[in-house]
Amino acid sequence: MITAIDQRPDVVSGDANAMSPVWARIVSRCQESSNTASYTMKFVDPEIGRRYRFLPGQFNMMYLFGVGEAAISVSSDPANSDSLVHTIRHVGSVTFAVDRLKVGQCVGLRGPFGSNWPLESCKGRDILLVAGGIGIAPLRPAIYQLLKNRDQYGRVILLYGIRSPQDMIFKEEVEEWMERRDFQVLITVDYPSENWTGPVGVVTKLLRRVRVDSRNTSVFVCGPRVMNRAAAHSFLSHYVPEDQIFVSLERNMRCGIGQCGHCQYGPKFVCKDGPVFSYASVRNLFGKDEV
Amino acid sequence: MRNSVLYTIEKGELDKLIGILHRDGYTVVGPTVRDGAIGYEAIESVQQLPIGWTDEQAPGHYRLKRRDDDLYFGHVVGPQSIKKFFFPPKQRLFGIRREGENDYVFEATQPEPPRYAFVGVRACDLAAVRVQDRVFNDVMPDPYYAKARSQAVFIGVNCAEPGGTCFCTSMDTGPRCTQGFDIALTELKSTFTVEVGSDKGRKLLEALEHKTTDANTKHLVDLMMQSAAEHMGRSLNTDGLPEMLLNNLQHPHWDEVAKRCMDCANCTLSCPTCFCSNVEDKTDLTGDHAERWRTWGSCFTLEFSYHTGGYNRSSTAARYRQWLTHKLASWHEQFGTSGCVGCGRCITWCPVGIDITKEANAITDDVKRFRAEQERQRAEEVGS
Ligand SMILES: Cc1cc2nc3c(=O)[nH]c(=O)nc-3n(C[C@H](O)[C@H](O)[C@H](O)COP(=O)(O)OP(=O)(O)OC[C@H]3O[C@@H](n4cnc5c(N)ncnc54)[C@H](O)[C@@H]3O)c2cc1C
Ligand code: SF4
Ligand code: SF4
Ligand code: FES
């Protein structure tokens, strides 16, 4: 079973140096919001498709022919490696180029890279997931695994912050999750629409609505930098230990293999030591400006 | 004092050695005068070495000068190290041709590296190669680097006269070549002493006219090395340095340096251990042919830390701090070694003469003063 993997899966790439991509075909596209879409992909070479494995929280480098590369997390279920999903917010050159592709066209991929959400070592504990905007994408594989192995964890709670109700991604799924009695999902928006009846404001405000058992909770956080900081500090003030708060960080990435130097964060290479870090391991850097 | 066997060869044998290396198919690279500086280039014979030249170096200052002897290696290191031969400044990683709408074909990726023989490499630069190995060879080997590296021959030269910005003694990398060479030479008036560092080196020595060095000459070499170690142009206090720097990321001295720093990136480009690169993808005019290039990068540029949310290091102070703390502190956690080998290039080639040893020592001294003052106050409180 996939959840039992605690060693990182092999990196798939076009040749030995892991700097060239292999091809994957877009088999379907789902518009999630005005600027975000999910792309289901299959490796053109079926042998690679059989071989490719990833862990929740890991990412691929996605290459658009002649345009460039961007780090994109895998947002699908690791148990189902046959259909790899990437959920992409279209913001710049590479992601705009993905937006322009038609179903049936190809992108280059190499990966998976980086560290994962520590689902194994958090067994038996309450899991509190905090997502901001597109940050829900790298958390979704973890959610799939948590729900599949639901009996192995304590309470599972998702706090999800979005700009406005129209910006919610994975909408149908989120609604399904909200129906479940074994999964508490709370959503907050910055800018409510007229018919929004839920909470308004930053995601950390939702913490008032949940009971945090500080001795038995592990927290997974992924969102914009400001949110990551606020969330980590709120949990610390709720006495969640530093080594049970996990944050996924974003940095400029050009290689994914610890060689280009761009993703350095103090002594850490975010591409290989991260993107998922325990707060304890980055305590001296976290929240400091300009490192 | 080094307890290895030394051999002596006449000076003329060096040209023979270069000839043998050529015959064996090596591209022989050595120091040579070009554009007013000494750099590593392909050479045909000893005649191209900087015979009778020396280099005057100080912060922000480099000048070639005539020596009053005709030593081959009477200079130290120039603006460029041998890094460029393993990790080229500009390198094509791959080319791709698009055939039809959706069919991509990879074209020949990287060229085969030449077989290099480096003549006259200094101890600091040999140490720098071992530092870069940890990035490009030890974990996820870069194919070009790994190949070029594995087939290279290193003829080291021990430094008898350190330059004005050298501090290899502080970094424990020189002035004597102690590892990473096939042969290490010490230049005397009319001979070289030779230390053998590998089987390859032994074979090369055997092809030359050589004899065992007599005890007096051996002693002389030891004295030369000792004197060189005592005459470093700079020195760096490395005691507890990594922790000290990482605990003082907010020290006001970073802003003070930033007032002088011009963000020119000369320091990273001349540094033999800096490994950062940019990856650039582009297409030709037809749009059917794409290439990926890797070029040297530098943490001194603003774009370096750019990401969707903005720049991670938007100020010069932050970038200078990244550079210095990376070299002297975080490198240890990343690779188990300092990222600085004490070659002094960043000091010499800084247009405004910013000096890594001075800046780091300034912070160390200030923190020490602060701690001493705290101690004193505490003692007073206890006493009263
Ligand atoms: C580990 C990791 C996982 C990620 N996962 C995802 C994911 O699952 N989904 C997702 O959508 N994103 C993800 N990202 C973020 C994604 O990699 C970035 O958004 C990436 O920059 C997009 O590349 P691009 O070429 O489309 O945009 P870019 O070209 O980088 O442009 C982004 C924005 O910045 C501006 N810009 C570009 N260059 C510069 C410059 N030099 N100076 C100033 N401004 C500039 C552009 O105009 C644009 O507004 C992830 C990032 C990391 C590190
Ligand atoms: S930091 Fe300066 S002195 Fe140290 S190895 Fe690099 S160029 Fe040489
Ligand atoms: S981060 Fe800066 S100092 Fe460190 S290797 Fe890269 S260019 Fe050199
Ligand atoms: S992305 Fe290149 S070192 Fe991390």
How far is the C-alpha of A21 from the C-alpha of B106, rounded, in Å? 10
Mutate which of A19, A228, A263, A285 to test chain B, going by most B C-beta atoms within 10 A?
A: A19
Judging contacts by C-beta atoms under 8 Å, the chain A residues touching residue B278 are: 254, 260, 262
Ligand nearest to the CA of A261: 4
How far is the C-alpha of A77 from the C-alpha of A143, rounded, in Å? 9
**Cβ of B245 less than 6 Å from ligand 2:** no
| Confidence (pLDDT) at A1 | 37
Q: What are the backbone dihedrals phi and psi of residue A253, each rounded to the nearest 5 degrees, phi first? A: -130, 130
pLDDT band per the 50, 70, 90 thresholds, residue B226: very high
Is the pLDDT at A197 greater than 70? The verdict is yes
Query: Across the interface, do B140 and A104 touch by the CB < 8 Å criterion?
Result: no
Ligand nearest to the CA of B276: 3
Query: Across the interface, do B322 and A291 touch by the CB < 8 Å criterion?
Result: yes
Query: Across the interface, do A266 and B330 touch by the CB < 8 Å criterion?
Result: yes
Rounded to 10°, the helix B316-325/B356-383 angle is 90
Q: Render pLDDT for B151-172 as a digit per residue (tens, 0 to 9).
A: 999 999 999 999 999 999 999 9
| Confidence (pLDDT) at B101 | 73
pLDDT band per the 50, 70, 90 thresholds, residue B383: confident
Ligand 3 pocket test, pick from B274, B330, B354 with the greatest ligand atom count within 8 Å of Cβ, gives: B274
Give the three-class secondary structure for B40: strand
Q: Where are the alpha helices (DSSP H) in chain B?
A: 12-23, 83-86, 123-136, 143-150, 168-171, 199-206, 215-230, 241-246, 253-260, 266-270, 316-325, 331-335, 345-348, 356-383
Q: How far is the CA of A92 from the centre of ligand 4 (A)?
A: 20
Of A16, A261, A288, the CB nearest to B249: A288
Shortest distance, CA A162 to any CA of chain B (angstroms): 16
Pick the more confident residue, A179 or B381: A179
- A109-118, A131-140, B58-67, B107-116: which range is least confident on average? B107-116
Of A20, A225, A266, the CB nearest to B106: A20
pLDDT band per the 50, 70, 90 thresholds, residue B2: low
Judging contacts by C-beta atoms under 8 Å, the chain B residues touching residue A291 are: 249, 312-313, 318, 322
Is the pLDDT at A21 greater than 70? The verdict is yes
**Cβ of A269 less than 6 Å from ligand 4:** yes
Q: Render pLDDT for A66-111 as a digit per residue (tens, 0 to 9).
A: 999 999 999 999 998 778 999 999 999 999 999 999 999 999 999 9
Measured CA to CA in angstroms, residue A262 lies from A27, A92, B123, B313 at distances of 32, 18, 29, 11
For chain B, which residues make up each domain, given as ranges?
6-230, 241-373
CATH H superfamily, domain A14-113: Translation factors (2.40.30.10)
Asked if residue A128 lies in contact with residue A40, where contact means CB atoms within 8 angstroms, the answer is no
Residue in chain A closest to B132 (alpha carbons) equals A259
Judging contacts by C-beta atoms under 8 Å, the chain B residues touching residue A261 are: 275-277, 297, 299
Shortest distance, CA A94 to any CA of chain B (angstroms): 11
Rounded to 10°, the helix B356-383/B253-260 angle is 160
**Cβ of A201 less than 6 Å from ligand 4:** no
pLDDT band per the 50, 70, 90 thresholds, residue B245: very high
Q: What ipTM describes this predicted complex?
A: 0.93
> Which amino acid residue places its CA nearest to atom 1 of ligand 3?
B299
Is the pLDDT at A11 greater than 80? The verdict is yes
| Confidence (pLDDT) at B205 | 97
pLDDT band per the 50, 70, 90 thresholds, residue A2: very low
Q: Render pLDDT for A140-177 as a digit per residue (tens, 0 to 9).
A: 999 999 999 999 999 999 999 999 999 999 999 999 99
- In this prediction, residues B119-137 reach a mean pLDDT of 97
CATH of domain A126-286: 3.40.50.80
Give the three-class secondary structure for B286: coil
Is the pLDDT at A116 greater than 60? The verdict is yes
Token code pair at residue A83? 């259909």
Give the three-class secondary structure for B12: helix
Q: Render pLDDT for B9-49 as a digit per residue (tens, 0 to 9).
A: 999 999 999 999 999 999 999 999 999 999 999 999 999 99
> Which amino acid residue places its CA nearest to atom 2 of ligand 2?
B346
Report how far Cα A65 is from the mean position of its chain's Cα atoms: 25
Is the pLDDT at B344 greater than 70? The verdict is yes
| Confidence (pLDDT) at A6 | 58
Asked if residue B100 lies in contact with residue B107, where contact means CB atoms within 8 angstroms, the answer is no
| Confidence (pLDDT) at B121 | 98
DSSP single-letter state for residue A165: G
For chain A, which residues make up each domain, given as ranges?
14-113, 126-286
**Cβ of A261 less than 6 Å from ligand 4:** yes
Q: Render pLDDT for A23-75 as a digit per residue (tens, 0 to 9).
A: 999 999 999 999 999 999 999 999 999 999 999 999 999 999 999 999 999 99
pLDDT band per the 50, 70, 90 thresholds, residue A5: very low
pLDDT band per the 50, 70, 90 thresholds, residue A4: very low
| Confidence (pLDDT) at A39 | 98
